[in-house]
Structures are given as structure tokens and as C-alpha cells.
Structure 1
Amino acid sequence: MQFDALNQEIREFCDERDWEQFHTPKDLAIGLSTESNELLEQFRFKDTEEQAALLEDAGSRQAIEAELADVLFFTLRFADLYDVDLEQALADKLDTNRERYPKDEYASSNKKYDE
């Protein structure tokens, strides 16, 4: 994966601004939550057709992409500063979810594994 190159770019950006002092685990988690909610806000109160229209409109799509980039920024920054191997964490999570959600049992289902 290309996390190393992205992490390096984010690290340099933050180092140039002396921001590490503001990037505690709590503050990065708050930033991640805030940016995720800003992404969610783009779709709030929109039906399926309106959501699709947002993604087709250049201005709306740009705003959505910017929020996704913010979410990625905070995720990568957290992982880089606190030695989280995102590639391994994702692989582990996929393994867990394969066990929780066997494809034959959960195909076309949105039920949670414990329901």
C-alpha cells in the first residue's frame, strides 16, 4: 500500500507547522469524528436520488471529496504518530468480519452479526 508516502507528506506538512503538540490521540480522534460528521452532513436529510445527485454535481462532489480527504488525513496522522500498522489492522479486521459475516449467510443482508 502507499501509506508510507502519504504519511511522509502529512508528517512534513505537520512538522513545518509544529502541529505535533496538538495531535494527541484524543485530539486526533476528535478531528476524525468531526470530519466524519462533516461528511455525513453532506448527505443529511437526502433520499437516495438526492444523494446520487450530490455525487454527480461537481461542486457537491468536490466538497464530499474534501471531507473524505480530511477523514483520511486524521486517520493517517493518528496511525503514523502512534505506530498503528493500518495495512495489518485492516487485514485483521477483514479476517474478523469474514468470520462474523460468512458470505453465504450474509449475502445481500445488512444485519449485524449479533442480531
Structure 2
Amino acid sequence: MRVFTEERDWGQFHDPKSLILALVGEVGELAELFQWLPADAAVDRAREDRLHERAGEELADVLIYLVRLADVLDIDLADAALRKLRGSSARFPAEEVRGQAPDKS
């Protein structure tokens, strides 16, 4: 992502706020694909060729902006994700929460 950006001199546009707004926009485009699908049919419908392809494109856009944002902020995304998962594992022990939606309180 960094090389792609540098080759086009787009770094000047990649401040955190702009990247976050682009990321939110792409998440919105992904959400739009599923907005009116019945929840119980979404997975099956997402396997259909056209929706599957479009979902993949939007997920790729989300990933690209997320990776670029992490790069700009000098955050090791893989390390941050592993630390987050370790914290969530401690906060939500599987034997205590299996089959239950997490309580946000």
C-alpha cells in the first residue's frame, strides 16, 4: 500500500481523518449490499455469484484503507489484533459466554 501510494504521490491526501472517512465510506458500501437482505438468508445470498463478487470488492476496499491507516499511524495491525483477541479472551472466557451475546455494560 505504501509503495502504491508513493508511486502516485497520494500520501499528501492520506492523513488519518481522510483515511478514516474513506474507510467509513467503504464500510457503508459493504453495508448497502446487505441492508435489505433478511438476516437469516444473508449468508446464503452472499454466496450467489454477483453479491459474492461485490462483497469481495468492498471487503478489499475496507482492508486496503484499514491497512493504509495503520501504516500512516505506525500501528502494527497484526500485533494490535492479537493483543485485542488476548484481551477479549480474558474478558469473555469461552466456558462462561458460549452461545450468549456479549453484554456491553
In the alignment, what sits opposite 2:58?
67
Cα distance in 1, alignment partners of residues 95 and 2 from structure 2: 43
User: Structure 2 length as normaliser, TM-score?
Assistant: 0.90
**Percent of residue pairs bearing the same amino acid type:** 34
Q: Secondary structure of 1:109's match?
A: coil
Post-superposition Cα deviations, 1:13-56, rounded to whole Å, max 9, x if no partner, equal 11121111111011111111111111111110211354134322
Cα distance in 2, alignment partners of residues 29 and 52 from structure 1: 27
Instruction: Return 5+ residue gaps in structure 1 as ranges.
Output: 1-9
Q: Secondary structure of 2:64's match?
A: helix
Of 54, 58, 67, the match for 2:49: 58
User: Structure 1 length as normaliser, TM-score?
Assistant: 0.83
Of 24, 34, 50, the match for 2:15: 24
Instruction: Return 5+ residue gaps in structure 2 as ranges.
Output: none
- Structure 1 segments (4+ residues) deviating >3 Å: none
How far the C-alpha of 1:98 sits from its partner, in A, is 0.9
Cα distance in 2, alignment partners of residues 89 and 65 from structure 1: 24
Aligned length: 105
